[in-house]
């Protein structure tokens, strides 16, 4: 897989004229590569991640996956593309409190129409074993620590073996020790699963785990390769 971001800009209309959040951002990543994006709040990090994840549309520029523009797809097909090919991890784990850990990991598979539930459940259990939660399948999120909840969220993001894994401040709500453990797990799993990984973070310690790093400043991306 190859991800290419070409001259992507994002503007929002205001009474005083367009507000530029992203300005001519460009980079490319191939299978197994990872990029950490740092920068202050309001610099455009999350906006970039949302556009790469097809949750938001660029004002100008182009995002391609294996040479194809996902934004050219009709909305129902784009939603299906996103569900199967992109995994998301957020600062807040977004686990459903009424569901077990196993049920939470299986949520992205509920809209899938091309597989049996037994296959997905086996994959969910495999991933939960990988993140150290194989003995917590029937627990609810309230019974887990913050780090365990984020580990469950990572397993959920990987359930479809996505080509692209996007994480927005994935360790932002965790203490330093737990944050480092979750960051190491995230980078290890992305390599083993063969996904492209992009993380936006304020944490220099998390960014230090990545060979490729970039800084967002006033909507511009400065690559540190």
**pLDDT tens-digit map of 87-139:** 999 888 889 999 999 999 999 988 765 556 688 999 999 999 989 999 999 99
Whether residue 85 is predicted with pLDDT greater than 60 in this model: the reply is: yes
CATH level 2 (architecture), domain 2-223: 3-Layer(aba) Sandwich (3.40)
The per-residue DSSP string of the chain comes to -EEEEEEEEEEE--TTSPEEEEEEEEEEEETT-EEEEE--TTSSHHHHHHHHTTSS--SEEEEEETTB-GGGS-HHHHHHHHHHHEEEE-SS----TTS-HHHHHHGGGGG--SS-HHHHHHHHHHHHHHTT-TT-TT--GGGS-HHHHHHHHHHHHTTT--SEEEEESTTTTS-HHHHHHHHHHHHHHHHHHT-EEEEEES-HHHHTT-SEEEEEETTEEEE--
- Please write the tens of the pLDDT for every residue from 30-71: 988 999 999 888 889 999 999 999 999 999 999 999 889 999
- How confident is the model at residue 10, as a pLDDT? 97
Query: What mean pLDDT do residues 139-160 have?
Result: 93
Q: Answer yes or no: is pLDDT of 157 > 60.
A: yes
Q: Do 89 and 105 contact (CB within 8 A), yes or no?
A: no
| Residue 225 scores a pLDDT above 80 | no
Domain residue extents for the chain: 2-223
Mean pLDDT (whole number) for 23-27: 96
pTM of the complete model: 0.90
Q: Which of 22-36, 142-156, 184-198, 202-216 has the lowest mean pLDDT?
A: 184-198
pLDDT score for 112: 60
Instruction: Report pLDDT for 118.
Output: 83
Mean pLDDT value across residues 10-35: 93
């Amino acid at each position: 897989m190859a991800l290419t971001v070409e001259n992507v800009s994002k503007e929002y209309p205001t009474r005083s004229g367009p507000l530029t959040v992203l300005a001519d951002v460009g980079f490319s990543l191939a299978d197994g590569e990872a990029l950490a994006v740092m920068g202050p709040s309001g610099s455009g990090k999350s906006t970039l991640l949302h556009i790469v994840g097809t949750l938001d549309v660029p004002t100008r520029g182009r995002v391609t996956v294996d040479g194809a523009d996902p934004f050219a797809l009709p909305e129902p097909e784009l939603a299906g593309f996103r569900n199967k090919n992109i995994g998301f991890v957020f600062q807040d784990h977004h686990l459903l409190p009424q569901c077990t850990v196993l049920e939470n990991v299986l949520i992205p598979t509920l809209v899938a129409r091309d597989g049996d539930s037994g296959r997905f459940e086996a994959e969910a259990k495999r991933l939960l074993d990988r993140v150290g939660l194989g003995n917590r399948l029937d627990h609810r999120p309230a019974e887990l620590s913050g780090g365990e909840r984020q580990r469950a969220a990572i397993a959920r993001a990987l359930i479809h073996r996505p080509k692209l894994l996007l994480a927005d401040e994935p360790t932002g709500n965790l203490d330093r020790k737990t944050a480092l453990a979750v960051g190491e797990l995230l980078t290890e799993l992305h390599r083993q699963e063969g996904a492209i990984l992009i993380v936006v973070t304020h944490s220099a310690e998390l960014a230090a785990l990545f060979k490729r790093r970039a800084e967002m400043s006033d909507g511009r991306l400065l690559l540190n390769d």
